[in-house]
Structure 1
């Protein structure tokens, strides 16, 4: 099975700022491009970090409020230092957590989940920025047509396991939900089929109604035994 890659899904036209970009220019860049964060590049075009609305908002939150209606947030020393920053290099979250264009959707999604990130700069082998991939980009795999998913399952999952005893299996797909029907030679094959179907891009869930196929070999052997017995009872 071929998962779609980060390189296929990423946005190539990336809005970015430099390490020395001032606070107000960062805010203007975010507003003008309707984005919530941008990579911060060094002089070689490599992401040094990411600066977001949250990083800018920390400066406002750390200021005194004479009304007293909301408490002053507690900031760690490193947060306070960043709140006092005036340039992208001083305000950004660093180092930048990046992906590579040949990564699969699964790899990028796992990194986003572990690091609690909404986007990943995508870099080449020299760490130069190529694009950016967001959560919404990764979710595009779930826009695949049901027929495309069904065809891939028939070809890559059922087709590959047919010789193992899955030749009697069919798949139905409705809104990304896969239902497997039919028979298998060994019930140990069922979790394998489910796991493989789950790995197909665009699959939301997998259910199965699979049964063990009748032992055709046993029936044939029984028929042969009966035939031999009949022959032995026949008059000479």
Structure 2
């Protein structure tokens, strides 16, 4: 299975400004391109900070005379690497309470921007594509299970699994792999098993996940 990375989801032609870019020019760019923040880069194209609408409004409201990106920006820039998973990027956004992440290469140079709306594209994936990946990649190729023994239903990204697997220990593995598929919102477990090979404590955890 190949999951889409930050590189797949980001906007590669990122708008950026220099340290000396003025307040007025930054405001114009935000309005022209319909974005809420813009990365600030140095003379080598490396991301050094970010100026957001909030930064502009906060500085404007403070009455400060500063007018250049170097004084307006939040720094250091909270960045993402192109090889990051979407989950990792989302966690960084949540941790630092930011809506956009400049994406930089190994040398720190700006190569794109990832926004929350870019991450949401994962959950706009068609149900049929999700179902197909689970049947073919997760069940058949990865787990070597017969897709005919299981039923996979997908509605608005919600996956319902039913049918019978050979061993109880396979159930949490199937659930974990299905939840990792791009576009899956959650998984409802209605799986049965032929042989109960789990320790007692793990059986309880698995039963809690099962929806009747």
TM over 0.5: yes
C-alpha distance after superposition, 1:141-181 (max 9, x if no partner)? 11211111111111222122236x98732211122111111
- Which runs of 5 or more structure 1 residues have no equivalent in the other structure? 64-82, 216-236
Residue 46 of structure 2: aligned partner: 46
Q: Deviations over 1:156-211 (max 9, x none)?
A: 22122236x98732211122111111112222321221111100000011002111
Corresponding position of 2:16? 16
Aligned partners of 2:193 and 2:8: how far apart in 1?
A: 40
Partner of 1:31: 31
1:91 aligns with 72
1:176 maps to 2:157: yes
CA distance in 2, matches of 1:138, 1:114: 16
Task: Tell me how far 1:109 sits from its aligned partner.
Answer: 1.1
Aligned counterpart, 2:97? 116
User: 2: distance between equivalents of 1:166 and 1:84?
Assistant: 66
CA contact (8 A) 1:171 1:178 kept: yes
Structure 2 unaligned blocks of 5 or more = 197-212
Q: Does 1:133 align with 2:114?
A: yes
1:183 is paired with a residue of what secondary structure? strand
TM-score of the pair, normalised by structure 1: 0.77
| Stretch deviating more after TM superposition (97-106 or 132-141) | 97-106
* C-alpha separation in 1, matches of 2:83 and 2:95: 19
Q: SS where residue 206 of structure 1 aligns?
A: strand
Show structure 1 runs of 4+ deviating over 6 A: none
For residue 85 of structure 1, report the CA deviation from its aligned partner: 2.6
Q: Shift of residue 126 of structure 1? A: 1.3
Does the aligned pair in 2 maintain the 1:158–1:167 contact within 8 Å?
no
Compare 83-92 and 129-138 and name the one that shifted more: 83-92
The 5-angstrom pairing of residues 182-193 of structure 1 reads: 182-193=163-174
1:166 and 1:183 in contact (8 A); partners too: no
For residues 189 and 144 of structure 2, the distance between their equivalents in structure 1, rounded to whole angstroms, comes to 17
1:110 deviation in Å?
A: 1.5
**Which residue in 2 is equivalent to 1:212?**
193
State the aligned residue count. 195
Query: What is the root-mean-square deviation of aligned Cα atoms in Å?
Result: 2.0
**Displacement, 1:21?**
1.0
Q: What is aligned with 2:139?
A: 158
Taking the aligned partners of 1:26 and 1:162, their CA distance within structure 2 comes to 54
Match in the other structure for 1:74:
none
